[in-house]
Amino acid sequence: MNISHQVLEDEQDTADFHRFSHGLYIGGQWRQSADSREIQVVDPSTEAVIAAVPDATIEDAAAAVEAAANAADGWRTTAPRRRSEILRRCFELMTQRSETLATLISLENGKALRDARGEIAYAAEFFRWNAEEAVRITGEFGMAPSGTNRIVVDYEPIGICILVTPWNFPAAMATRKIAPALAAGCTVILKPASETPLTAYALAALYQEAGVPPGVVNVLTTSNPGPVTAALLADPRVRKLSFTGSTGVGRVLLAEAAKHVVSCSMELGGNAPFLVFDDADLEAAVDGAMVAKMRNAGEACTAANRIYVQSGVYDAFGECLARRMSALKIGAGTDAATECGPMITRKAVDKIDRLVNDAVARGARVLCGGKAGSGTGYYYPPTVLCDVPAEAEMAHEEIFGPVAPISRFETEADVIARANDTEYGLAAYIYTRDLARGMRVASKIEAGMIALNRGLMSDPAAPFGGVKQSGLGREGGQHHGIAEFMEAKYLAISI
């Protein structure tokens, strides 16, 4: 495999990150796919093919399960302190090589380098956090109400875990699953998105260097995810599926996992409302909107998808946001000056364009942007729309791009009803100087995560996840993330 961009040459440890070119990562070894087919990796900034990775088959999936099963007993019986030290070493290596990894993400994903750097810092933190939590997994001990026996509850690793991650955060979505699974004592098989596989393989080499034993982490890339994932779930040794992606795909995977009664954690789509009340600090609200909307150029499940602004500050907010959005520098992700990179594919650009055209046709006004660019690269300009009607498609469908749709509201009750008028319930944002109002509204918003006077909510120390059609279970947090990868075992002991 060859990478046309010489972006990795500045690091002394460059050779370590070329080891993923050897193939799939199974049982601590690099191998080609069973049929030797490959997946081409495209730079969204240039549309050039920059690499090719193995295209895993069902046979490769079976080999990965075998490797994870062979490593399972040794890893689950590894002392928690030793597991903790290995996870800590993963954090240290990711931090040391953050610039190399960030550049790799920008190359294959297209996101602005500043966003990629933030992602690596966030992704590494899951290893540090779970290194600290790995030695704090405790059980329970008590007396039965009858007084006839003691109740002992132990927590054990759930077993082999299938981890399916998306393209928009190729490092963070992987480490958010891998770190707690390893802390719990599980072995895993990671299936990263075929659009952004290079980061997953670079990190696999890093885990190996950090001391993760062979077979504990395995990585498969495939262009045929349905049959390959189905084959993985059909193996009775597989006991967990953790998926991050669209609600539609999540439903399909839930149905497949149900055939084999496999435990599932699902972090699915979002349609986040962003509420700005008349008494909000307007400058802070615009700052927050820029973060909530433009993190990763809007390609995030927590992105502000519906911006509701109260009448008293409606015009001022729209004008200020449009001014800020139109000033963003568009360019290749690997360019340090870029503030908004390309979308992941041409299909993504076409979807955004369709949603914008639909909103305009229904009466929305364009304050900036609004037209897909021509030329090379999958670019869409930062766009602000005002007077977006409730019936617009973008009010009910994730935009997943740099488009900020603004709608007016009058009363608290009205905006709460509109915020909840969606099948999704992942994230929400509220801006008000009235703390009582903020807490009151937050309690009525149907979402798993709410940011009050903040444009960013993600934190490895906090539980991440949604309600309604936005998912099942939580990732991160003091115990939530690790608990997803453990089973409670109850012992009744006579006294």
**Tally of CB atoms within 10 A around 471:** 27
Beta-carbon contacts of residue 365 (< 8 Å; ≥ 6 apart): 385, 386, 387
Is residue 449 within 8 Å of residue 273, measured between CB atoms? no
Kindly list the distances between the CA atom of residue 494 and the CA atoms of 138, 149, 153, in Å, as whole numbers in the listed order. 22, 4, 14
Task: In whole angstroms, give the CA distance from residue 419 to residue 464.
Answer: 20
The encoded tokens of residue 454 equal 């903040």
320 is catalytic: no
Task: In whole angstroms, give the CA distance from residue 362 to residue 357.
Answer: 9
301 is catalytic: yes
CA nearest 267: which of 251, 248, 245, 240? 245
Q: What are phi and psi of 135, to 5 degrees?
A: -95, 5
Task: In whole angstroms, give the CA distance from residue 238 to residue 181.
Answer: 13
Catalytic residue among 108, 133, 267, 339: 267
3-state secondary structure of 492: strand
Task: In whole angstroms, give the CA distance from residue 231 to residue 398.
Answer: 30
Catalytic residue among 264, 301, 320, 386: 301
The encoded tokens of residue 171 equal 């490092």
3-state secondary structure of 444: helix
Active-site residues: which are they?
A: 267, 301
